[in-house]
Amino acid sequence: DAKTTQPPSMDCAEGRAANLPCNHSTISGNEYVYWYRQIHSQGPQYIIHGLKNNETNEMASLIITEDRKSSTLILPHATLRDTAVYYCIVRGFYNQGGKLIFGQGTELSVKP
């Protein structure tokens, strides 16, 4: 699976949009971009995933560049409860049994 690169930490003001970038320049055509987050001392929580089109759900939006080499997760109105480590993972469904390999992620701190 392709490797991802994320900034180690970011701050965001409460109520503002949080934009978390991810680089995956070696992504291949059949690999999806997944985002998970982990709140302290809990298991990871699925947020969103996409292949090449932008995606939106009740939690977030995912913007994938046309060349698919990078993406941005957008939390439109960040709250204090969004403080967590956010992981961008590239996963090929048919590679290695579909397992998820976590990188270091971005530690997002939402401040009042």
Partner 1 sequence: GAVVSQHPSRVICKSGTSVKIECRSLDFQATTMFWYRQFPKQSLMLMATSNEGSKATYEQGVEKDKFLINHASLTLSTLTVTSAHPEDSSFYICSARSGGNTGELFFGEGSRLTVL
Q: Footprint of partner 1 on this chain (CB under 8 A)?
A: 36, 38, 41-46, 85, 87, 93-94, 97-105
Token readout for 43 is 């298991």
Measured CA distances, 42 to 8, 86, 94, 101 (Å): 19, 13, 28, 17
Residue among 45 and 65 whose Cβ is closer to partner 1: 45
Cβ 16 to partner 1, closest distance in Å?
26
Cβ 31 to partner 1, closest distance in Å?
13
Do β-strands 106-111 and 45-50 pair in parallel, antiparallel, or remain unpaired? unpaired
Residue among 76 and 98 whose Cβ is closer to partner 1: 98
Name which of 10, 92, 21 is nearest 63 in CA terms: 21
Residues 75 and 63: beta-carbon distance below 8 Å: no
Cβ 95 to partner 1, closest distance in Å?
9
Residue among 47 and 110 whose Cβ is closer to partner 1: 47
